[in-house]
A and B are shown apart, each in its own frame.
Chain A
């Protein structure tokens, strides 16, 4: 069997790393899946942070976008222009949400496919694993893997893990959800909140539970990350925002922005823009870390594209 370029650059390394990790983690494939998932998540942390923050900023813009839609809904061209203007003035690049996701996708797919290959329980699959193996002695002494982990047979679907996948995905979605006055946005949010967890839980039942372990670990990591960034978010409506020094500044800024009348895209005073930029460029965490919902698009403005090479010192 000839390996293609995808096999060589993605599946083969991931597969061999999984085997080696299994060897050093007491020949326990379940632990290896968890560890590699956490390592991959950790390695992609900067990208994930970027994506989460950009997504939050985009969601925070929704009320303003709804206002624009109300105002220019009939004139699509004008609407698009105003949207672009709003994004530009808010310092938000829509691609900022998508690019990290696009970059991460191949890595997730590679990890997924590697786990699938490693769970070779039938002769055809085990034999098919051979071309993927490096000539490391440890690889040859470790395979074939023991598929048992806790109560699980990692090669067989498990209902408890399927429910855990669905529940953790729901929690994750709920945490990043922001109430939106736009009905279309509401529908989309509901889809993301309910359909995806249900779909994944259902899929998990018919996939080996080794994959479910990977999904649950990933989801829990993301939940932890989102909590660190923005508290419980939409999960607990009445949860008070974290009272950190940064939050105080953040609330002050909200107050400033709220004084500005909104209407079109020109809603943000230049002074507020400058202050926003300083948060990003100072290297501080985003000021929306308190878990409260931003009141204005300016509240969650991501890193400014301006002033490359003019990074102020940390305060």
Chain B
């Protein structure tokens, strides 16, 4: 009897399935980046914008993204967006392997550049801090002079002639801003990562860590004043206003803490992580959250005044522009909240991913997007002034 049916080549199909599984496993990297991208907000002084661009995702094969360029610091004319100079920060080619783990560390920069006198500073994910002449772009010094410390995601803070930053090795470093010499080092007990940018208020440095603690450190000698423990890790930067620290955590709480002794004043619970820094205007706190909302809270009591659903997480730092708070979502929309009426309105839709902090200078809002575009927008009208690709 002829059935006309063909027997299944089981062995071949099994082999194909296994290979397919390997392929799918590799495809599983999709959306999971292997290398840091970075991308900072703009820092502006004397008509010059300084920023470190995001490392381009070139799609490193098998769904894994990989940086296409090495890291650099770029200086642009603040009026026109025309580039003045750029300084390569070195770096390495992507690993080129099939996996998503990077074999080499490119110099992605997360923290916005800091300025002090004639120097501009950036800290790289490769564990180095660079001091560069703001006028010429010449490298003044590098810390450490040889080798690297652990990766630096934290931004840099300058004050008291010192440069402060946190590191993924769990330490806070204070360098001489002029020479780059190490002045002191504060080690957290847990040695967990510090990704957030410290906040300096007077002679006290406030640093939050993945070890669920917020530390108050004497900025002169690096000794601990107090510590505050939350229920979850800190990835956001504290804001100090009138003796109160405002900070959100990965335990979904937003805290108000007495800056003098580290005691909790109040806390507010949201639905997802707080990643960004808050903005305070008079007695009102504005803070974005990963639950797509921006919360408007009473700064004294923590009672919610109102909330707005922005339909996208808020990662970028907001800014206060006279009578409004400008706040950007990851999806690329910038909203304005009127501080008098607490009414929300769409300010501008850039339709590009926004992770970097917003910057306001002389009535102009600067927004750097993950699509490598720096947008200059009139902070009053929302009119786009210019756009410059920085990659």
The judgment on whether A and B are partners is yes
Task: Count A interface residues, CB 8 Å.
Answer: 57
Interface hits, B255-313 → A, CB 8 Å: 271-273, 275, 290, 313
B21–A81 CB distance below 8 A? no
**Closest A-chain residue to B5, C-beta based?**
A84
B residues near A140, Cβ cutoff 8 Å: 231-232, 250-252, 273
Per-position 1/0 for B19-37, Cβ under 8 A of A: 0111011101101110111
Closest to A184 in B: B11
Q: B265 CB to closest chain A CB, in angstroms?
A: 21
The answer to whether A188 and B250 touch (CB under 8 A), given A81-B2, A112-B28, A206-B103, is no
Task: Give chain A nearest CB distance to B372 CB in angstroms.
Answer: 15
In B89-142, which residues have CB < 8 Å from any A CB? 95, 97-101, 103, 110, 125
Interface size on B, residues (CB 8 A): 58
* Shortest Cβ distance from A130 into B: residue: B290
User: Is the Cβ of B250 less than 8 Å from the Cβ of A143?
Assistant: yes
Is B18 close to A, CB under 8 A?
A: yes
Interface of B is mostly: loop
CA distance A73 to B277 in the complex (A): 74
Interface membership of B164, Cβ < 8 A: no
B27 → chain A, closest Cβ, in Å? 9
Is A97 touching B14 in the complex (CB atoms < 8 A)? yes
B122 shortest CB reach to chain A, Å: 16
Question: Which stretch in A100-108, A226-234, A280-288 binds the other chain?
Answer: A100-108
Question: Is there an interface contact between B31 and A128, defined as CB atoms closer than 8 Å?
Answer: yes
> Which residue of chain B lies nearest to A61 when distances are taken between CB atoms in the complex?
B10
| A124→B33 contact, CB < 8 A | yes
B273 engages A83 (CB within 8 Å): no
Q: Which of B11, B99, B192 meets A185, CB within 8 Å?
A: B11
A125 located at the interface, meaning its Cβ lies under 8 Å from any Cβ of chain B in the complex: yes
State whether B32 touches A128 (Cβ < 8 A): yes
Residue of A98, A112, A196 near B25 (CB, 8 A) is A112
A109 to B5, CA, bound (A): 33
Bound-state CA distance A284–B210 (Å) is 54
> A130 contacts B273, CB within 8 Å?
yes
CA–CA, A144 and B95, complex, Å: 25
> Given A125-B33, A144-B233, A155-B101, is A192 in contact with B15 using a C-beta cutoff of 8 Å?
yes
A293 at the interface (CB under 8 A from B): no
A39 at the interface (CB under 8 A from B): no
Which residues of the partner chain B approach A159 to less than 8 Å between Cβ atoms? none
CA distance A25 to B292 in the complex (A): 32
What residue in chain A is nearest B11 (Cβ atoms)?
A188
B232 in contact with A207 (CB, 8 Å) = no
Partner of B99 from the list A144, A188, A206 (CB cut-off 8 Å) is A206
Q: Are B18 and A196 neighbours in the complex by a CB distance under 8 Å?
A: yes
Q: Which residues on the A side are within 8 Å of B235 (C-beta)?
A: 123, 126
B residues less than 8 Å from A130 (CB atoms): 272-273, 290, 313
Within the complex, what minimum Cβ distance (angstroms) separates A41 from chain B? 15
Task: Let me know if A124 and B10 touch, CB within 8 A.
Answer: no
User: What CA separation (Å) do A157 and B8 show in the bound complex?
Assistant: 39
- Give A206 to B275 CA distance when docked, in angstroms: 30
* Nearest A residue to B36, CB-CB: A122
A95 contacts B by Cβ under 8 Å = yes
Name which residue of chain B comes closest to A143, CB basis: B250
B99 with A141: CB separation less than 8 A: no
Decide: B7 and A80 in contact? CB cutoff 8 A: yes
Chain A residues with Cβ below 8 Å from B193 are 144
Given the interface contacts A140-B232, A196-B18, does A113 sit within 8 Å of B28 by beta carbon? yes
Asked if B272 contacts A84 (CB within 8 A), the reply is: no
Asked if A43 is at the interface of the complex by the 8 Å CB criterion, the answer is: no
Q: Which residues of B contact A254 (CB under 8 A)?
A: none
Report the separation of the CA atoms of residues A105 and B23 in the bound assembly, to the nearest whole angstrom: 12
Q: How far is the CA of A98 from the CA of B195 in the complex (A)?
A: 47
A123 to B98, alpha carbons, bound, how many Å?
Answer: 22
- B8 lies within 8 A of A124 (CB): no
- Chain A residues with Cβ below 8 Å from B313 are 1, 127, 130-131
A58 engages B10 (CB within 8 Å): yes
Interface status of A77 (Cβ within 8 A of chain B)? yes
Q: Contacts of A207 on B, CB cut-off 8 Å?
A: 99-101
Q: How far is the CA of A113 from the CA of B22 in the complex (A)?
A: 13
From B13, B22, B101, B273, residue with most partner A Cβ within 10 Å: B101
Chain B residues within CB distance 8 Å of chain A: 2-8, 10-15, 17-18, 20-22, 24-26, 28-29, 31-33, 35-37, 95, 97-101, 103, 110, 125, 153, 192-193, 195, 210, 231-233, 235, 250-252, 271-273, 275, 290, 313, 315, 330
Q: Residues of A with Cβ closer than 8 Å to B?
A: 1, 55, 58, 77, 79-81, 83-84, 87, 94-95, 97-98, 101-102, 105, 108-109, 112-113, 116-117, 122-128, 130-131, 133, 135, 137, 140-141, 143-144, 146, 155-157, 185, 188, 191-192, 196, 199-200, 202-208
Shortest 8 CB-CB contacts between residues of A and residues of B: A206-B99, A206-B97, A83-B7, A207-B99, A94-B8, A122-B36, A113-B28, A94-B10
Q: A98-B10, A207-B99 are in contact. List 20 more A-B contacts (CB 8 A).
A: A77-B2, A77-B4, A79-B7, A80-B6, A94-B8, A98-B13, A108-B25, A113-B32, A122-B37, A124-B37, A127-B275, A140-B231, A140-B251, A146-B192, A196-B18, A203-B99, A204-B99, A206-B100, A207-B100, A208-B101
